[in-house]
Amino acid sequence: MFLNTWDVSKRTVPVTHRDRVRKVKIVTNDSIVLTSALEDYLEVILELGETEKEIRVTDVAEKLNIAKSTVTITLNKLKNLGLVTQESYGPIILTRMGEVYAVDVKKRHRVLRKFLVEILGVDYQTAEKDACLMEHVISPVTIKKMEESIVRNHEEIAKK
C-alpha cells in the first residue's frame, strides 16, 4: 500500500490510496484529530449557521442525507473534542475553535472549487464534488499556490 505523508505548518497528513477519502486523519498542533467526516460536519454546521437561526440535528441530517442517530453520535465526538456545544435536544453551536476549523475547511473547499473551474476549466458540478473530496487531504502549501494562481489569473483578465 502506497503511503504519502507530508508535514507542513505542524500538520501531518497521511494519505493512502485505499482510504484517502473518509479515513484520513489530520493532526494539528493542538493534537486534535479530525477525520474528513468530522470536517464535513463542521463545514455543514458553519454553512447552516449562515442561513438558520438555530441549527438542529435534523438540519444537519438533511444536509448530509444521513440518519439523525448518526448525526447525534458524531456530534458527541465533536463535543468531546470541544468543537461544538449542544444541550440535550438544543441547538448545535460551534465553539470558537470549531469555527476556526470549519472556516479553514470551507476556505480550502472554496479555493479548490474556484481553481478547478477558473484555472482548469472543470464544470461547476464536477468541481464541487472534487473539491469536497480534495479539501481533506490538500496541504496548506498547495492551497496557497492555488490561491496565488487564481489571483494571477484575475490580474491577467483585468489587464485585457
Q: What is the per-residue pLDDT across 96-111, written as a single tens digit (0 to 9) for each?
A: 999 999 999 999 999 9
Q: How many domains does the chain have?
A: 1
- Mean local confidence (pLDDT), 8-35: 47
Average pLDDT in the 113-118 region?
Answer: 97
More confident: 23 or 147: 147
CA distance 144 to 18: 27
Tell the residue number behind the cell numbers 456545544, with chain if given: 85
- What is the average per-residue pLDDT within 25-37? 66
- pLDDT band of 158, cuts 50, 70, 90: confident
Task: Check which CATH number belongs to the domain holding 128 and give it.
Answer: 1.10.10.10
Res. 31 pLDDT band, cuts 50 70 90: low
User: Domain limits at 142?
Assistant: 3-159
Give start and end residues of each alpha helix (H) in the chain: 36-51, 57-64, 68-80, 96-114, 124-134, 140-159
pTM score above 0.95: no
Please provide the average confidence, as pLDDT, over all residues in the chain.
Answer: 84
